[in-house]
Amino acid sequence: MRFKTPVRGIHIGGCVDGSTLPDTVGAHAHITGSKPARYVGYICAQSKRELAEFLLHELAHLAANTGHDDDWRRSVHRLGGRVPAAYKKRPR
């Protein structure tokens, strides 16, 4: 699988930009277009436990270079994961 946003690093203990992740966010990825641009390609996690739970989810963001849309869902499946119920596509 080719990643649209190359993985540059993983930061544990908040965000690589020095900010604190909200309690409701275990991890996030900096995709193309993220500000500031110097952090694009980083995956940030609250803790090692959170990283283990969210790594595939965040890698799928970098692979698709997008949010929780159909491209992201396809990337989750291509990486061997399952889309969590909270991110499944809802009928209109």
Query: What is the reported pLDDT for 52?
Result: 67
Give the global pTM. Answer: 0.74
* Neighbour-count burial of 45, counting CB atoms closer than 10 A to its CB (0-12 exposed, 13-18 middle, 19+ buried): buried
Phi, psi of 77 (to 5 degrees): -65, -40
Average pLDDT on 27-43 reads: 90
Q: What is the rounded CA–CA span in Å between residue 6 and residue 53?
A: 20
Q: Is the pLDDT of residue 53 over 80?
A: no
pLDDT in tens, 55-72: 899 999 999 999 999 999
